[in-house]
Amino acid sequence: MAGEVRQLDDRKLAVLRAIVQDYVGTEEPVGSKALVERHNLGVSPATVRNDMAALEEEGYIHQPHTSAGRIPTDKGYRLFVDKLAEIKPMSSPERRAIRHFLDGAVDLDDVVMRTVRLLAQLTRQVAVVQYPSLTRSTVRHIELVALAPAKVMLVLITNTGRVEQRMVDCPGTVGETVLADLRSRINARAAGQRLPDVPGLLEELPAAFEQADRPTVSTVLATLFEALAEQNEERIMLAGTANLTRFGHDFPLTIQPVLEALEEQVVLLRLLGETTDAAMTVRIGRENAYEGLNSTSVVSVGYGSGDESVAKLGVIGPTRMDYPGTMGAVRAVARYVGQILAES
Amino acid sequence: MAGEVRQLDDRKLAVLRAIVQDYVGTEEPVGSKALVERHNLGVSPATVRNDMAALEEEGYIHQPHTSAGRIPTDKGYRLFVDKLAEIKPMSSPERRAIRHFLDGAVDLDDVVMRTVRLLAQLTRQVAVVQYPSLTRSTVRHIELVALAPAKVMLVLITNTGRVEQRMVDCPGTVGETVLADLRSRINARAAGQRLPDVPGLLEELPAAFEQADRPTVSTVLATLFEALAEQNEERIMLAGTANLTRFGHDFPLTIQPVLEALEEQVVLLRLLGETTDAAMTVRIGRENAYEGLNSTSVVSVGYGSGDESVAKLGVIGPTRMDYPGTMGAVRAVARYVGQILAES
DNA sequence: TTTGGCACTCGTGCGTGCAGAGTGCCAGGG
DNA sequence: CCCTGGCACTCTGCACGCACGAGTGCCAAA
């Protein structure tokens, strides 16, 4: 390790930074001459060539064939992101625009939709937003509605504004008084609690009812628990798929595997799942577990109402992407969505 | 018109049918020799050539350049769909599979999601399903929940299982008895009614309350009416975008304009809107109003619970698609979704 | 340690030539 | 009158060869 650090003196790092920046801009392998022209490195092409040879030796860059320019490797991008780049903050007009665009949302669906579209537009890449997960949110209200003598609709409302509904087929006719009683007891104990904690709090509830009503109560509770536990109901919204076509030649063969990956909610969820909660995560190329995304990078971060993150959002683009800009946009959007959610 | 009909005798129509079928299969311009080999037309290539010349004269087929095979034009496909093809019914194992796959759905979201995925998989193209529209459905139940002294949550449940919720900020504290009264009065009048009719039925409602409560009642009703009127909340679900890449060479330049069109819900809604309610509609190539979809065809049909259609679904693919098969799949899926919705 | 020079490598673009597929037309036959 | 076989023609796609240019690695000198 010490070896690597010693080898990479400041100028070599500057060369790597310049290569990444140029390649991101031009999409073409960058040669030594062009490099010294576009950046004032203060040395000659020959010197740069030596540095490039060293960088290639270390695996940070790579040349597609003899006598072509150099291209950053995944490892090169990694170093660039970790050490050489700073997240580019949004300009203040951009921030105002984000704020304004998100402020118009009326309900949770709308917030998520606006967020994902905004993110796709800002980064001109594919954006992914996960709905605030049920697991981490708390109960705002649980409503029971009698639709028919033996049919009850259960509505679960969370603090993030998400609404889940379930039909319950009861074993027998349900009296309105029993239902009202059950409703108020459930809410008294569950309101404000985290979703995973609720089942424990309601366990003893059937005992408080008369023998005849217990089957009904149990059925309703079972459905409620089911709804609470249904973690895989975690939904995701996607936008900006069309942006992929702009990068046609960035993908080995076609964009097909990428599109296929994007259609699999499971893949996307796992992708976002790898984000460490608060900090921004960048997965570059083969660092992504899923094979179809081997030539893409994923920039993701958690967002939430208040101080803790309830879900994640991110951007998927070609390995050759503008990392500082993308990271800036992702961070800014996550921040504002958090604020919006906290307000509502 | 009489002229056209006279010119297109049975054999010419058979030739056109054969051309469409071959071209759909091979993706390559089809020549006279290959035609007589693959279909037993009982005549020589030279004869077929004459017929092809006539068909080209009439605008049904077209050759990309001199001495290449022929390709059907939009007009050719149109004739094929209208006169030459029969909708291919699903096989009974296929029908069972559809039935089984859709039966597993738990709520409306799930029904729509399963439907769109199924359709994409069956046709191997892009599938679109519109959520049952609020406009045509009826009220099953309206629920009011007091969340805070001056904050009420309004939940609207339709017969199609769709749930809309709205927050209402009331001008003052809302008594529980008033709320209960309002709830039962609203439901008594609105339940079972078509959504657009509801405002008319509730117009006189504030008069039934005491002077002090009227502002609250009016506010709640205003929000309800707003939710009812919000037609543009019509949502759409999409699947199978990755299938587009299979047809890369079917699109003039790239699939980009198609992907862009698919991201615009407005475009999709208008596309489906052109479907005449019950009957299946096929829009071929330039028949589509939207420019980006000029080289695609749209097969769509209404579906609904019971006898009347509440929303639409369809498939989008290249002009060169298997029309009989696609139409069969679309019809079958629409039928089963209707049944599922009617049952729930 | 940097620099300028030089020979070398390899991909790209372009023009040529050839083979194959498909057509249109024409004259002959049922 | 319609169908058929034959023939000349046209156009695309592909392989080949060639020259060009960009970019490199190495070496000797500053």
Q: What is the pLDDT of residues B25-73, one digit of tens each?
A: 888 899 888 888 888 888 888 898 999 998 998 899 999 888 888 999 9
**Edge-to-edge strands, sheet with B296-303:** B236-239, B126-130, B311-318, B296-303, B281-284
Say if residue A3's pLDDT is above 60: no
Q: What is the pLDDT of residues A144-153, one digit of tens each?
A: 877 778 888 8
B245 — pLDDT class (breaks 50, 70, 90): confident
Q: How far is the CA of A55 from the C1' of D27 (A)?
A: 21
Q: How far is the CA of B69 from the C1' of C18 (A)?
A: 21
Is B143 an interface residue toward A (CB < 8 Å)? yes
Q: What is the pLDDT of residues B214-241, one digit of tens each?
A: 998 999 999 999 888 764 457 899 999 9
Indicate yes or no: strand C within 7 A of the C-beta of A231.
no
Give, rounded to a whole angstrom, the gap between the first and last alpha carbons of chain B. Answer: 50
How far is the CA of B31 from the CAs of A213, B28, B208, B251, B322, in angstroms? 77, 9, 79, 22, 20
- Of A1-10, A229-238, B16-25, B119-128, where does mean pLDDT reach its minimum? A1-10
Query: Which of A140, A246, A256 faces B242 most closely, judged by CB atoms?
Result: A256
Query: Which of A145, A157, A262 faces B153 most closely, judged by CB atoms?
Result: A157
Q: How far is the CA of A326 from the C1' of C1 (A)?
A: 39
* CB contact (8 A) between residue B145 and residue A147: no
Say if residue A185's pLDDT is above 80: yes
| Chain D nucleotides reached by a protein CB under 7 Å | 3-6, 9-12, 21-27
Residue B6, pLDDT score = 41
B297 — pLDDT class (breaks 50, 70, 90): very high
Q: What is the pLDDT of residues A107-117, one digit of tens each?
A: 778 889 999 99
* CB contact (8 A) between residue B107 and residue A166: yes
Cα-based torsion angle of the residue sequence A319, A325, A328, A333 in order, rounded to the nearest 10 degrees: -80
Residue B3, pLDDT score = 39
Is A138 an interface residue toward B (CB < 8 Å)? no
Angle at B218 between CA B217 and CA B219, to 5 degrees: 90
Residue of B nearest to A162 (CA): B165
Is A192 an interface residue toward B (CB < 8 Å)? no
Mean pLDDT of chain A: 85
Is A266 an interface residue toward B (CB < 8 Å)? no
Distance from CA of A233 to the nearest CA of B (A): 10
Q: What is the pLDDT of residues B154-187, one digit of tens each?
A: 888 877 767 787 888 888 888 888 888 998 899 8
Q: Which positions 101-130 of B are in contact with A (Cβ < 8 Å)?
A: 106-107
- Residue B72 phi/psi, 5-degree rounding, is -65, 145
Is A244 an interface residue toward B (CB < 8 Å)? yes
Chain B CB contacts of A187 under 8 Å are: none
Residue A166, pLDDT score = 82
* CB contact (8 A) between residue B242 and residue A260: yes
Burial of A11 (0-12, 13-18, 19+ CB in 10 A): middle
Say if residue B1's pLDDT is above 60: no
Q: Give the nucleotide with minimal C1' distance to the Cα of A46.
A: C3
* CB contact (8 A) between residue B259 and residue A241: yes
Say if residue A233's pLDDT is above 80: no
Average pLDDT for residues A324-333, to the nearest whole number?
96
- Of B12-26, B80-94, B262-276, B328-342, where does mean pLDDT reach its minimum? B262-276
Average pLDDT for residues A73-87, to the nearest whole number?
92
Residue B277, pLDDT score = 67
Beta bridge partners of B155: B143, B165
Is A263 an interface residue toward B (CB < 8 Å)? yes
Could you identify the residue whose CA is nearest to the C1' atom of nucleotide D9? Answer: B67
Would you state the structure tokens that stand for residue B145, as one six-digit string? Answer: 């929940």
Is A67 an interface residue toward B (CB < 8 Å)? no
Range with the largest mean pLDDT of A321-330, B158-167, B249-258: A321-330
Alpha-carbon distance of B99 to B173, in angstroms, equals 50
Residue B2, pLDDT score = 37
Residue B248, pLDDT score = 62
